[in-house]
Chains A and B, each alone.
Chain A
Amino acid sequence: MIPAPFDYVLAESAEHAIGLLAEHGDDAKLLAGGHSLLPMMKLRLATPAVLIDVGRIDELAGIAADGDDLVIGATTRHADLAASELVRAQAPLLAYAAAQVGDPQIRHRGTIGGSLSHADPAADLPMALVALAGSVQLQGPAGTRSVAADDFFHGYFETALQPDEVLTAVRVPRLPDVPWGYQKFVRRSNDWAIVGVAAVDGRIALANMGPTPLRAHAAEQALAAGASPAQAAEHAAEGTSPGEDMHADRAYRQHLARVLTRRALEHQAG
């Protein structure tokens, strides 16, 4: 499969990329690792006229501590996120989530900014960002704004990112030594979650239980009121209306959400 023709521009800085977006508007797409975009272009589900390559912009890469947060450049690759000593120590759930994406080859190419912008509700990093109460930095012609994870995901493959903006960085709070749990249920190695659950610091996020990663609010409230993990987990699917496909119907997904939430709250990863 071969993508439709496009013009290729290598962006030299975030500002350059924003200028190019302003120039080309909706005809343009940003390219970093390309592991969400190129498959869509090969299927001609996406046919951008211009690809703006942000994959070589130094200022968009790298991981650093900043006060109470970790700041992760948008083009940081999953393998580097997973291997980062800083992330493993300060936001271990995020490092673990990055290590669950796809397979080694995919993790060598795919980027955190790409995965979050693509916003597949079954994906690992969007769920992890919601669980961690992280945020994204969006830079556009009017400046930079910060959007909380809870407000960033709007629907299937839809986010708050505007066509003239670049997702430049991701922030997550530093939570060393805070117990966490991560559960991803798949039938095949290397697949997207049929249902996923990430729990940390009283927050619970669900993957593939709706059009965006969701908070399990009722279960969180039960926990805060003193319920045991098993009791709280019984509320994990409340208010959800997950889609149905060949892997699971709605009732089974809701069952999985409850079981996986209990396991995640017992601070199990895996």
Chain B
Amino acid sequence: MTRIELTVNGEKRSDEVEPRLLLIHYLREVLGLRAANVGCDTTSCGACTVLLDGRSAKSCTVLAVQAAGQEVVTAEGLAPAGDLHPVQAAFRRNHGLQCGFCTPGMVMATVGLLGENPHPTEAEVRAGLEGNLCRCTGYHNIVRAVLDAAETMQAEVGA
């Protein structure tokens, strides 16, 4: 067992973990944070996407020990309870989901994307989300949601 200290959704954690424990299993099973999903489990689908020190990462392909000392953010940590992050609100407004399984990963990938590129073009949104698969929507409403989120967040910054 290895002791890891890290911050998850703003809260400092210190836990003994098996070195082979994947970050996604640490989040879901040790901490009970179930937003990030295990989809393909092969670094393809992006349903397990979280932010690691502000950058999107697929938590099925990160060991919990690799996240030691870092800040992890999951969809649960984006906004205070009862509130929605502008990206979450934009996904709801644009109906950027159907079954919802990919949505936490899409939202986290979007937050990461808009952190790096606050004004993406539609093509940049599509390329920026190429690591996230949705089997329901055909992506159109997801792309609309991301562009809408970018606009709202810019308006908030400007306000």
**A34-B63, A190-B44 known; A104+B128 contact, CB < 8 A:** yes
Q: Residue-by-residue, is B70-106 near A (CB-CB < 8 Å gives 1, otherwise 0)?
A: 0000000000000000000000000000000000000
CB pair B65 A1 closer than 8 Å: no
- In the complex, what residues of B have CB within 8 A of residue A35's CB? 43, 61
CB pair B112 A104 closer than 8 Å: yes
User: Which of B6-14, B15-23, B150-158 touches A?
Assistant: B15-23
Docked pose: A79 CA to B22 CA in angstroms: 22
**A104-B130, A106-B131, A109-B57 known; A6+B20 contact, CB < 8 A:** yes
Q: Residue-by-residue, is A1-45 near B (CB-CB < 8 Å gives 1, otherwise 0)?
A: 111111110000000000000000000000100110011011000
CB pair A190 B131 closer than 8 Å: yes
- In the complex, what residues of B have CB within 8 A of residue A59's CB? none
CB pair A105 B65 closer than 8 Å: no
Docked pose: A106 CA to B109 CA in angstroms: 12
CB pair B19 A8 closer than 8 Å: yes
CB pair A105 B66 closer than 8 Å: no
**Residue A103 at the chain B interface, CB threshold 8 Å:** yes
**Residue B5 at the chain A interface, CB threshold 8 Å:** no
Docked pose: A103 CA to B109 CA in angstroms: 11
- In the complex, what residues of A have CB within 8 A of residue B130's CB? 103-104, 189-190
- In the complex, what residues of B have CB within 8 A of residue A102's CB? 43, 131
Q: Residue-by-residue, is B23-62 near A (CB-CB < 8 Å gives 1, otherwise 0)?
A: 0010000000000000001111010010010011110011
Docked pose: A108 CA to B41 CA in angstroms: 18
**A53-B65, A102-B131 known; A39+B20 contact, CB < 8 A:** no
**Residue A204 at the chain B interface, CB threshold 8 Å:** no
Q: Which residue of B lies closest to A190 (CB)?
A: B130
**A5-B20, A42-B41 known; A106+B65 contact, CB < 8 A:** no
CB pair A103 B42 closer than 8 Å: no
CB pair B19 A105 closer than 8 Å: no
Q: Which residue of A lies closest to B105 (CB)?
A: A105
**Residue A114 at the chain B interface, CB threshold 8 Å:** no
**A189-B130, A190-B130 known; A105+B57 contact, CB < 8 A:** yes
**Residue B147 at the chain A interface, CB threshold 8 Å:** no
**A4-B20, A5-B20 known; A103+B46 contact, CB < 8 A:** yes
**A38-B61, A105-B109 known; A2+B19 contact, CB < 8 A:** no
184-205 of chain A: CB within 8 A of chain B: 189-190
**Residue B143 at the chain A interface, CB threshold 8 Å:** no
Q: Which residue of A lies closest to B21 (CB)?
A: A2
- In the complex, what residues of A have CB within 8 A of residue B65's CB? 8, 53
CB pair B61 A109 closer than 8 Å: yes
CB pair A5 B18 closer than 8 Å: yes
**A1-B41, A38-B63 known; A104+B20 contact, CB < 8 A:** no
Binding site for B on A (CB under 8 A): 1-8, 31, 34-35, 38-39, 41-42, 51, 53, 55, 79, 102-106, 108-109, 189-190
Given contacts A104-B130, A106-B131, 9 further A-B contacts (CB under 8 A): A8-B19, A38-B62, A39-B61, A55-B66, A104-B56, A104-B109, A105-B131, A108-B112, A190-B130
3 smallest beta-carbon distances between A and B, as pairs: A103-B131, A8-B19, A108-B55
9 contacts between A and B (CB under 8 A): A2-B20, A35-B61, A38-B63, A39-B61, A53-B65, A53-B66, A55-B66, A103-B132, A190-B44
